[in-house]
């Protein structure tokens, strides 16, 4: 079977926005913010209809059951009209609902398929505000409902391990604790609307190069401590109804059909009761898939991608007893005709197909597709959804440098030169499967014009061209320099882009699915351009767009102000302007480290990337548990900008810690004061350092944080809880998490490298 390889180829209460919205562990939490506390396994919610499901399983024929466990078109899987079981409709995900590709790839004429374009997941993670994760999820859930989608294919939560991964923009962080805190809210938000989230890609899909065939190995400890906690939280705390397997192999076996990942860990240890969806074309074998965890095989026929061939019509006729139509592309899937044949030959496989159908039916009940329950109508492109997009962008933008308080700029300015092709580039349709048709997208240039109004002259010079192999262009640089020289203030908007031409997948070379970035530099000769602009006018603010870290070493020393704005969504331009002109005080913090240079990163220093030497299809994660700041801090390598870092227009004073030990746990309290002149928010981060360890442990690990919003002069108490898990490591010989008694240092700070207060606890 041809596999799909390249593309395989809120309603949010205003209260959520302005209150202290801490992580699970922050004390001062506004009512209404979702709890991210470990609770009883949230998977129990899927078990409310077992008797009805038993009855349906009795009625379904084997053919009908098999019909339900594979795709029947690009984004839908088979229903059984005879028993009123509908098709299940999926849609990407993760930051908006995709244009109308529910069945085939050609949108129906006049489709109402524009949706809200939320900031990408880097931005969400950079807010360090779990309440915004919930708000974000409710927008997706609501819009999925309005568009008739049952499963949103997100969130994507793979660890940001390699700086060049083309899909880092879809993911959250290098840190499993931050991911866990953010993902729970996202999933609960989506599912509060009666739509299933589908957390992806399980597991070890941390790069796009060779994503379809690389065989990843890592220690059990790295798996448990770094790569799995986000998924575990998504399942057990978030209660995700579905999960997507990944394309790659894991320890020699395709991840999607990997007995250890799917059966032993996910469905066994974690008690997952929901649905495992394959990635599109990631199933490779009928027997393996039947036995080892995949419940629903998805994929798409490239030949049909742009043709309106409706497979469901054929299906409906067949179920009504008419002569069988010609077997379709989808009937040849591993979990289609070949599965039927295999089960007929070997009836011991029947319980396996029954389990898969049971899981599909559980998700259908949970999403009100069965049992006569009413689905919430949902809404598209509401003002509230747009407000959430704006809020996430405003809180996720990170101020990286602000020498001499160049920012915020004054609105009394007369002329602003906006330089850089990213200033007027729309990003919603880029990046691969996460592309979407935005209702509108405020570019940075438009946002600045909106903020400044007609009284201020805003000039624009692109400075570079977004095109394959484009180098610095002297004529465009000269034009940009001339614009910079005559302006009071200069805003350079550059960084990365989703690709050269988003209509051609193979051309996507930056921040795109199917390929990793060639290097960590800004493309298209921007380093040369930005240096020329900085020389022409030192009052230049550099705004970076992109997913993942960027090498800023060529010019960051000379720039007075640097802002990281990610892919900030449909309201991104407004959010950038609000931050630059001080309507919003930045409070975002980096969810991953920016290394000074690419070669410094642990995948090069310790690990293998993108493959083992001499074998492009193998990769051993020798960097082990030393991912991100766990590496930089333990191995004493200075990053450009550390994990958890981000500046504010105000200053915060941290009071001394009060540490109250509990049984195998501790509670840390401190006061935080806004000691500056404007209101602002601080993310108070608590890292644990094991003082007396007999095993290797990272220098420090994030175990709690809280985001606190303070008026000038205001003080609040932040309470950070450290349950037993905060002190444990995974012991490979015992095959369990272990708390080794001893003394632990508690490091509380404004970033991983800006520790303001310390304490200790003996357990
Ligand atoms: C991606 C998934 C996506 C699916 C459907 C795959 O290529 O890896 O993340 O959900 O396509 O578009």
CA distances from 286 to 7, 249, 522, 572 (A): 22, 16, 44, 45
Q: Is 92 in the pocket of ligand 1 (CB under 6 A)?
A: yes
| Mean pLDDT along residues 111-131 | 96
Render pLDDT for 63-86 as a digit per residue (tens, 0 to 9): 999 999 999 988 999 899 999 999
3-state class (DSSP) for residue 719 = strand
Q: Is the pLDDT of residue 34 over 60?
A: no
Which pLDDT band holds residue 634 (cuts at 50, 70, 90)?
very high
Out of 150, 279, 473, 527, pick the active-site residue.
279
Query: For 447, what's the count of Cα atoms within 13 Å in the CB-facing half-sphere?
Result: 31
CA-based nearest residue to 561, from 405, 724, 684: 405
Nearest residue by C-alpha to atom 7 in ligand 1: 8
Q: 755 has which bridge partners? A: 749
Element (H, E) at 632: helix 629-634
Q: Please give the backbone phi and psi of residue 171, each rounded to the nearest 5 degrees, phi first.
A: -105, 175
Q: Is the pLDDT of residue 43 over 80?
A: yes
Would you state the structure tokens that stand for residue 728, as one six-digit string?
Answer: 């444990």
| Mean pLDDT along residues 417-421 | 98
Which pLDDT band holds residue 110 (cuts at 50, 70, 90)?
confident
274 torsion bin: left (phi>0), alpha (psi -120 to 50), beta (else): beta
Higher pLDDT, 128 or 302: 128
Range of weakest confidence among 99-108, 305-314, 672-681, 706-715: 305-314
Q: Counting atoms of ligand 1 from 1, which one is nearest the CA of 205?
A: 8
Using CA atoms, how far apart are residues 342 and 733, in angstroms rounded to an integer? 39
C-beta separation of 180 from 230 below 8 A: yes
Q: Is the pLDDT of residue 384 over 50?
A: yes
Verify whether residue 92 is a known catalytic residue: no
Q: Is 170 in the pocket of ligand 1 (CB under 6 A)?
A: no
pLDDT for position 327? 80
Q: Is 433 in the pocket of ligand 1 (CB under 6 A)?
A: yes
Q: Counting atoms of ligand 1 from 1, which one is nearest the CA of 4?
A: 7
pLDDT for position 372? 86
3-state class (DSSP) for residue 337 = helix
pLDDT for position 374? 84
| Mean pLDDT along residues 357-377 | 93
pLDDT for position 20? 33
**What average pLDDT does the chain have?**
91
Ligand 1 midpoint to CA 621 (Å): 24
Q: Counting atoms of ligand 1 from 1, which one is nearest the CA of 154?
A: 10
pLDDT for position 252? 98
Q: Counting atoms of ligand 1 from 1, which one is nearest the CA of 75?
A: 5
| Mean pLDDT along residues 729-737 | 97
Which pLDDT band holds residue 111 (cuts at 50, 70, 90)?
confident
Ligand 1 midpoint to CA 567 (Å): 19
Ligand 1 midpoint to CA 592 (Å): 24
Please give the domain boundaries of the chain with CATH numbers for all domains: 46-366 (3.20.20.300), 397-592 (3.40.50.1700), 594-643 (no CATH), 652-762 (2.60.40.10)
Q: Mention every residue, 6+ apart, whose C-beta is less than 8 A from residue 382.
A: 11, 142
| Mean pLDDT along residues 398-405 | 98
Q: Is 642 in the pocket of ligand 1 (CB under 6 A)?
A: no
Using CA atoms, how far apart are residues 171 and 112, in angstroms rounded to an integer? 28
Q: Sign of torsion, CA 285 290 292 298?
A: positive
pLDDT for position 694? 87
Render pLDDT for 204-249 as a digit per residue (tens, 0 to 9): 999 999 999 999 999 999 999 999 999 999 999 999 999 999 999 9
Which pLDDT band holds residue 40 (cuts at 50, 70, 90)?
confident
Higher pLDDT, 705 or 303: 705
Q: Provide Rg for the chain, Cα atoms.
A: 25
Q: Is the pLDDT of residue 407 over 50?
A: yes
**Given ligand 1 and candidates 432, 434, 508, 512, which is best to mutate, with the most ligand atoms within 8 Å of its CB?**
432
Render pLDDT for 504-537 as a digit per residue (tens, 0 to 9): 655 667 899 988 999 999 999 999 999 999 999 9
pLDDT for position 83? 97
C-beta separation of 640 from 596 below 8 A: yes
Q: Is 208 in the pocket of ligand 1 (CB under 6 A)?
A: no
pLDDT for position 329? 87
Q: Is 391 in the pocket of ligand 1 (CB under 6 A)?
A: no
pLDDT for position 21? 33
pLDDT for position 729? 98
Using CA atoms, how far apart are residues 437 and 330, in angstroms rounded to an integer? 27
Q: Is the pLDDT of residue 483 over 70?
A: yes
State the residue for tokens 């220098």: 699
Q: Is the pLDDT of residue 326 over 90?
A: no
Which pLDDT band holds residue 33 (cuts at 50, 70, 90)?
very low
Q: Is 288 in the pocket of ligand 1 (CB under 6 A)?
A: no
Share of the chain above pLDDT 70, in %: 90
Q: Is omega for the bond preceding 94 within 30 degrees of 0, making it cis?
A: yes
Which pLDDT band holds residue 728 (cuts at 50, 70, 90)?
very high
Q: Is 126 in the pocket of ligand 1 (CB under 6 A)?
A: no
DSSP letter (8 states) at residue 237 = T
Which pLDDT band holds residue 693 (cuts at 50, 70, 90)?
confident
Render pLDDT for 269-279 as a digit per residue (tens, 0 to 9): 999 999 999 99
Q: Is 200 in the pocket of ligand 1 (CB under 6 A)?
A: yes
Which pLDDT band holds residue 472 (cuts at 50, 70, 90)?
very high
Where do the H-state alpha helices sit in 320-375?
337-345, 350-366
pLDDT for position 509? 72
**Given ligand 1 and candidates 168, 198, 280, which is best to mutate, with the most ligand atoms within 8 Å of its CB?**
280
CA-based nearest residue to 77, from 250, 276, 228, 258: 276
Nearest residue by C-alpha to atom 2 in ligand 1: 279
Render pLDDT for 641-683 as a digit per residue (tens, 0 to 9): 999 999 999 999 999 999 999 999 999 999 999 999 999 999 9
Which pLDDT band holds residue 103 (cuts at 50, 70, 90)?
low
| Mean pLDDT along residues 132-150 | 97
Higher pLDDT, 18 or 57: 57
Q: Counting atoms of ligand 1 from 1, which one is nearest the CA of 9?
A: 7
Would you state the structure tokens that stand for residue 677, as one six-digit string?
Answer: 């002149």
Element (H, E) at 73: strand 71-73
**Given ligand 1 and candidates 206, 208, 433, which is best to mutate, with the most ligand atoms within 8 Å of its CB?**
433
Render pLDDT for 45-57 as a digit per residue (tens, 0 to 9): 999 999 999 999 9
C-beta separation of 63 from 353 below 8 A: no
Q: Counting atoms of ligand 1 from 1, which one is nearest the CA of 246?
A: 8
Ligand 1 midpoint to CA 177 (Å): 25
pLDDT for position 7? 26
Would you state the structure tokens that stand for residue 633, as one six-digit string?
Answer: 């801090």
Q: Mention every residue, 6+ apart, whose C-beta is less than 8 A from residue 752.
A: 629, 633, 642, 643, 644, 645, 685, 687, 700, 702
Render pLDDT for 737-752 as a digit per residue (tens, 0 to 9): 999 999 999 999 999 9
Q: Is the pLDDT of residue 305 over 70?
A: no
Using CA atoms, how far apart are residues 592 and 159, in angstroms rounded to an integer? 10
C-beta separation of 236 from 271 below 8 A: yes
CA distances from 163 to 207, 593, 598, 603, 614 (A): 9, 9, 7, 9, 22
Which pLDDT band holds residue 1 (cuts at 50, 70, 90)?
very low
Ligand 1 midpoint to CA 278 (Å): 9
pLDDT for position 312? 45
DSSP letter (8 states) at residue 6 = S
| Mean pLDDT along residues 585-596 | 98
């Amino acid at each position: 079977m041809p596999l799909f390889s390249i593309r395989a180829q809120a309603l949010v209460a205003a209260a959520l926005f302005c209150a202290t919205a801490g992580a699970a562990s922050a004390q001062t939490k506004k009512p209404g913010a979702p709890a991210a506390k470990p609770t009883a396994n949230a998977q129990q919610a899927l078990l409310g209809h077992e008797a009805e499901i038993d009855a349906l399983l009795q009625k379904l024929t084997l053919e009908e059951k098999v019909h339900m466990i594979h795709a029947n078109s690009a984004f839908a899987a088979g229903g059984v009209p005879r028993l009123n079981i509908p098709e299940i409709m999926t849609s990407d995900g993760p930051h908006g609902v995709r244009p109308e590709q529910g069945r085939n790839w050609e949108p129906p004429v006049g489709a109402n398929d524009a949706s809200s374009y939320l900031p990408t997941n880097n931005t969400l993670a950079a807010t360090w505000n779990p309440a915004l994760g919930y708000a974000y999820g409710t927008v997706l859930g609501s819009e999925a409902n309005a568009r008739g989608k049952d499963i949103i294919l997100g969130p994507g939560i793979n660890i940001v391990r390699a700086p060049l991964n083309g899909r880092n923009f879809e993911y959250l962080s290098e840190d499993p604790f931050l991911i866990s805190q953010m993902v729970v809210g996202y999933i609960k938000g989506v599912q509060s609307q009666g739509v299933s989230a589908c957390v992806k890609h399980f597991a070890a899909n941390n790069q796009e190069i060779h994503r379809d065939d690389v065989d990843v190995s890592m220690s059990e400890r790295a798996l448990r401590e770094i790569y799995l906690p986000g998924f575990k939280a998504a399942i057990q705390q978030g209660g995700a109804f579905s999960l997507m397997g990944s394309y790659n192999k894991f320890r020699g076996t395709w991840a999607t059909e990997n007995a250890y990942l799917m059966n032993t860990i996910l469905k066994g240890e974690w008690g997952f009761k929901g649905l495992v969806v394959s990635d599109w074309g990631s199933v490779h074998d009928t027997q393996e898939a039947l036995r080892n965890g995949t419940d629903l095989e998805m994929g798409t026929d490239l030949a049909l991608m742009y043709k309106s061939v409706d497979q469901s019509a054929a299906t409906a006729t067949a179920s009504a007893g008419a002569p069988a139509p010609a077997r379709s592309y989808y009937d040849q899937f591993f979990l289609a005709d070949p599965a039927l044949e295999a089960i007929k030959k070997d009836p011991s496989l029947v319980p396996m197909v029954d389990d898969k159908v049971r899981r599909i039916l559980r998700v259908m009940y949970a999403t009100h597709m069965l049992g006569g329950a009413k689905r919430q109508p949902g809404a598209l492109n509401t003002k509230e959804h747009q407000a959430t997009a704006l809020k996430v962008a405003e809180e996720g933008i990170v101020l990286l440098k602000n020498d001499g308080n160049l920012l915020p700029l004054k609105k009394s300015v007369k002329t602003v030169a906006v330089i850089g092709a990213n200033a007027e580039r729309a990003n919603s349709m880029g990046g691969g499967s996460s592309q979407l048709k935005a209702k509108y997208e405020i570019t940075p240039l438009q946002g600045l014009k909106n903020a400044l109004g007609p009284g201020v002259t805003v000039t624009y010079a692109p400075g570079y061209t977004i095109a394959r192999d484009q180098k610095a262009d002297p004529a465009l640089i000269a034009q940009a320099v001339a614009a910079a020289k005559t302006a009071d203030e200069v805003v350079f908007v550059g960084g990365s882009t989703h690709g050269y031409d988003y209509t051609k997948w193979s051309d996507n070379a930056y921040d795109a699915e199917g390929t990793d970035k060639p290097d960590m530099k800004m493309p298209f000769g921007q380093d040369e351009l930005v240096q020329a602009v900085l020389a022409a006018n030192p009052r230049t603010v550099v705004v970076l767009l992109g997913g993942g870290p960027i090498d800023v070493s060529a010019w960051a020393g000379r720039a007075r102000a640097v802002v990281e704005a990610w892919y900030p969504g449909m309201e991104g331009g407004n959010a950038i302007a609000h931050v630059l002109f001080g309507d919003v005080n930045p409070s975002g913090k980096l969810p991953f480290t920016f290394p000074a240079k690419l070669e410094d990163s642990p995948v090069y220093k310790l690990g293998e990337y993108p493959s083992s030497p001499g074998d492009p299809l193998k990769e051993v994660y020798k960097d082990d548990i030393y991912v991100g700041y766990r590496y930089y801090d333990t191995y004493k390598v200075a990053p450009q900008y550390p994990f958890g870092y981000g500046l504010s227009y105000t200053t915060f004073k941290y009071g001394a810690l009060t540490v109250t030990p509990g049984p195998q746990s501790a509670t840390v309290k401190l006061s935080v004061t806004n000691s500056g002149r404007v209101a602002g928010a601080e993310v108070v981060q608590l890292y644990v350092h094991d003082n007396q360890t007999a095993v290797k442990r990272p220098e420090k690990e994030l175990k709690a944080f809280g985001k606190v919003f303070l008026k000038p002069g205001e003080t609040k108490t932040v309470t950070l809880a450290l349950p037993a898990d905060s002190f444990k490591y995974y012991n490979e010989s015992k095959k369990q998490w272990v708390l080794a008694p001893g003394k632990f240092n508690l490091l509380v700070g404004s970033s991983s490298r800006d520790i303001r207060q310390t304490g200790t606890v003996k357990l």
